[in-house]
A and B are shown apart, each in its own frame.
Chain A
Amino acid sequence: MSVVMFFLAAGAAIIGAIGVVTLRNPLYSVLALVCHLVALAALFLLLRAEFVAAAQVVVYAGAVMVLYVFVVAYVGGGEEVSAGSTLRILGPLFALALAVELFIALLGSALSGIHRYGAPYKLGFGTPEQIGRLFLTDYLFPFEVASLLLLVAAIGAVVLARRRRGLEEGALELKDLLAMPRPAYTGTIAEGVGVRRVREQLEQAHGGVTEVVPAGAPGSEEQS
């Protein structure tokens, strides 16, 4: 049973990995990567690393790849991306170098892993309890450093996103947009909230109001 599962998962992982680099449509490429990651999670399960398998699916397939899919589905249409000519030559070279290195490592161990049983299984291995204990005892320092790194990355993302949204000097800000005179019944959010706020801002900006949408504007009812 476990042998069948292993070959199924390993095959899916390899097919997914090949699909990532060969498929031309970016969305299919991303989906192939998802397939690869889920197959890896299945392999982790076979190694009794349940927590790692769940984390793999939750973090990679469920969060990281979701962002990829979002971006590709929004931006990437049917157009195919083609790499530059230098990349096209360099890419396979690097892949070959990596493959040679891996094979050296594999053959260097004289394939002792194949004809022998693996490491003995201890009860409770790979459970969240054990992993949590190791994180808070033996690997406390790397754990804290990694969490600090993630915190820095999160703050950095917020800072970068704020700057790009146009909060520099002289840029058009939200309050400027609100103060612009605009025809009624254009379905803005401010109208949905209620007109009082808009009216106040209009009065502040221009000293008068031309036209104001009544609170319960016709056509705004929704039916479930």
Chain B
Amino acid sequence: MIAFADVNYFEPWWIQIVKALLIFLVIFGVLPLLTVYERKLLGRFQHRYGPNRVGPYGLMQPLAEIVKFARKEAFRPTGSVGFLFRLAPAISILTAVGGLALIPWGNVQNILGTRIGLYGIDVSIGPLYVFALGGISFYGILLGGWASGSKYSFLGSMRAAAQLISYEVSQGLALVGVLITAQTLSLTGIVNAQRGMWYFIPQIVGFLIFMVASFAETNRAPFDLVEADAELVGGYFTEYGGTGFVAYLFAEYVNMMVVSAMAATLFLGGWLLPFGIHPPGWVDPFVVLAKMMLFMTLFIWIRATLPRLRYDQLMSFGWKVLLPLATLNLLVTAIIVVH
């Protein structure tokens, strides 16, 4: 059985299953630690300690919280639509986890005589796959808000959806600059094309646009109007408690990880190290993970630093500043590459 891309070699089917399980387990092992990391860091930014009661340094905090969430009563509001109310968080987390398959953790390695690519799949359509998933994740958010039967949830989901589709355009256009420079859509190909120079130097404008759009895409501060508690209580997951809430929360964090990984892959050279250092192949995934953590720290830092935008500022910034800038970047890149 051949994987979707033209990988030029065949992987047995069981290797793909093992890879899928491994990626899933590693990410869902890192995820709870990430929530502690965020709260610890936010605490330090705000001159307090953050969680430090459960376990050493408060590291067991997520465990306690997962138990708490899982044991909550699964109720839903009277006006809600039952099956959509349950389906929406599932769509959200499904599309978020689907994005993990694309992250290239390393080049093709020779492990025990078989050639194994250190990535879930290397599709020939590359980033388009992520955008397709992003298009579907819209339904998870909108249906969650709509099916709750609550005004706050509905307005929150409308904001989220409008924000998602506005900033997806700029994000996509910023990405095309990288694709033109690398002249391939395959993500491993893009990393290999960055051997001379990481793309955040020639594509600095695209990088900045991509990062801003990513903050808006993942509904993180300063673009977290979706859950602007002063206006909307909790946004589209106002009515969710227990497992549904955790599903949305995890989907948000997985989306952050995917976006961080994409930024690291497209602009920071993926598993490559600077100054011509060539470590053995097993180091590659850790390099990618370290670069992802860099972006996650940036996400948290920005959250602690910047105040929330107003809604009309958000929209006019997206359409009147970011989109023309991304188009200009694309045009200039195309002209430079062709000449």
Contact = CB atoms under 8 A, between A and B. Distances in A.
A210 to B, nearest CB: 26
Contacts of B4: 45, 50
B126 to A, nearest CB: 8
Interface string A44-69: 01000011011101100111001001
Contact of A69 (B1, B123, B134, B142): B142
Contact of B139 (A34, A51, A63, A127): A34
Interface stretch (B26-34, B103-111, B282-290, B306-314): B306-314
A1 B13 CA distance: 11
Given A51-B125, A62-B131, A127 B6 contact: yes
Nearest to B126: A128
A192 B185 contact: no
A60 B55 CA distance: 49
Nearest to B129: A54
Q: Which of B139, B154, B185 is most buried by chain A, counting CB atoms within 10 A of its CB?
A: B139
Contacts of A50: 4, 123-125
A54 B307 contact: no
B125 A62 contact: no
A123 interface: yes
B128 interface: yes
B230 interface: yes
A223 interface: yes
Contacts of B161: 66, 69-70
A124 B307 contact: no
Interface string B141-175: 01100100000001000100100010000000000
A54 B125 contact: yes
B307 A222 contact: yes
Q: Which of A34, A74, A128, A224 is most buried by chain B, counting CB atoms within 10 A of its CB?
A: A224
A128 B185 contact: yes
Contacts of B209: none
Contact of B165 (A45, A63, A128): A63
Contacts of B307: 222, 224
Contacts of A41: 132
A12 interface: no
Interface residues on A, range: 20 to 34
B136 A54 contact: no
A189 interface: yes
Interface in B111-142: 123-125, 128-129, 131-132, 134-136, 138-139, 142
Interface in B305-337: 307-308, 310, 312
A4 B161 CA distance: 34
Contacts of A128: 124-125, 128, 185
A66 B138 contact: yes
A202 interface: no
A58 B171 CA distance: 14
B1 A124 contact: no
A54 B139 contact: no
Given A222-B307, A224-B308, A62 B135 contact: yes
B2 to A, nearest CB: 9
A127 B134 contact: no
Interface in A22-44: 27, 31, 34, 38, 41
B221 interface: yes
A58 B185 contact: no
Q: Which of A31, A58, A124, A129 is most buried by chain B, counting CB atoms within 10 A of its CB?
A: A58
Contacts of A31: 139, 143
A124 B4 CA distance: 11
Nearest to B227: A224
A73 interface: yes
B13 to A, nearest CB: 8
Contacts of A53: 132
A149 B139 CA distance: 29
A7 to B, nearest CB: 18
Contacts of A63: 135, 165
Contact of A58 (B124, B135, B224, B230): B135
B136 A61 contact: yes
B312 A58 contact: no
Given A51-B128, A123-B6, A27 B312 contact: no
Interface in B268-315: 307-308, 310, 312
Given A51-B128, A224-B221, A62 B136 contact: yes
Interface in A142-201: 189, 192
A193 to B, nearest CB: 9
A101 to B, nearest CB: 32
A34 B128 CA distance: 18
Contacts of A189: 310, 312
B129 to A, nearest CB: 6
Given A50-B124, A128-B125, A57 B136 contact: yes
16 contacts: A34-B139, A54-B128, A54-B129, A58-B131, A62-B132, A62-B138, A66-B161, A73-B146, A73-B154, A127-B124, A127-B125, A128-B125, A128-B128, A192-B310, A224-B224, A224-B307
Q: Which 7 A-B pairs have the closest CB atoms?
A: A62-B135, A57-B132, A54-B128, A127-B124, A54-B125, A50-B125, A54-B132
